[in-house]
């Protein structure tokens, strides 16, 4: 079932990327590219949630889960770098103001515990439900940014459409 959703989401993200082929406005294309990168990072956060739930839920990260968990964090970092390179100053400020706080710090601490646990090592007292709840709060903050980015693209597209009529 998870594979179905992963493939479906990947196809939806690809369809968003295809929209840049129909847009000649560089600022809009740049904004869409940043949006796509952000969506990719958010999708990796969802996959990280699943891997972390597995590891924390069982009290240890199996080697394959541990490697995938670390890879997903690295992929998020890479996609967020692309987002930052393409986002407007206002979008970056909104991201920085939104994706912050105790839940973000808690995810970072839990990640460190998971990474440091190596294969089958101690995951401390962190439970699967604690991880799931904490990272879901982070993903919800990412969703707020996603909504803002989508609204920005819609606004710039409408403005460009009016200018061309």
Per-domain boundaries in the chain: 2-163
pLDDT of residue 54: 96
pLDDT at residue 25, as a whole number = 72
Q: Which is it for the CA torsion 129, 135, 138, 142, positive or negative?
A: negative
Tokens of 79: 């996609």
Per-residue pLDDT of the chain (165 residues; tens, 9 = 90+): 455 455 554 444 454 545 554 555 788 889 999 999 999 999 999 999 999 999 999 999 999 999 999 999 999 999 999 999 999 999 999 999 999 999 999 999 999 999 999 877 889 999 999 999 999 999 999 999 999 999 999 898 777 666 666
pLDDT value, residue 158: 79
Q: Which residues of 3-34 are buried (b: 16+ CB within 10 A; e: fewer)?
A: eeeeeebeeebeeebeeeeebeeeebbebbbb
């Amino acid at each position: 079932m998870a594979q179905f959703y992963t493939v479906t989401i990947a196809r939806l993200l690809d369809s968003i990327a295809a929209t840049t082929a129909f847009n000649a406005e560089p600022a809009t294309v740049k904004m869409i590219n940043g949006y796509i990168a952000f969506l990719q990072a958010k999708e990796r956060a969802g996959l990280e949630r699943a891997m972390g739930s597995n590891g924390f839920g069982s009290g240890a990260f199996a080697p394959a889960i541990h490697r995938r968990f670390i890879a997903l964090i690295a992929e998020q970092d890479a996609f967020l770098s692309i987002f930052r390179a393409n986002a407007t100053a206002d979008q970056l400020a909104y991201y920085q103001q939104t994706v912050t706080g105790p839940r973000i710090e808690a995810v970072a601490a839990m990640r460190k515990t998971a990474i440091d646990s190596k294969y089958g090592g101690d995951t401390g007292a962190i439970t699967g439900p604690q991880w799931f709840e904490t990272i879901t709060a982070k993903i919800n903050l990412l969703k707020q940014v996603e909504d803002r980015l989508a609204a920005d693209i819609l606004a710039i597209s409408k403005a460009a459409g009016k200018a061309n009529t």
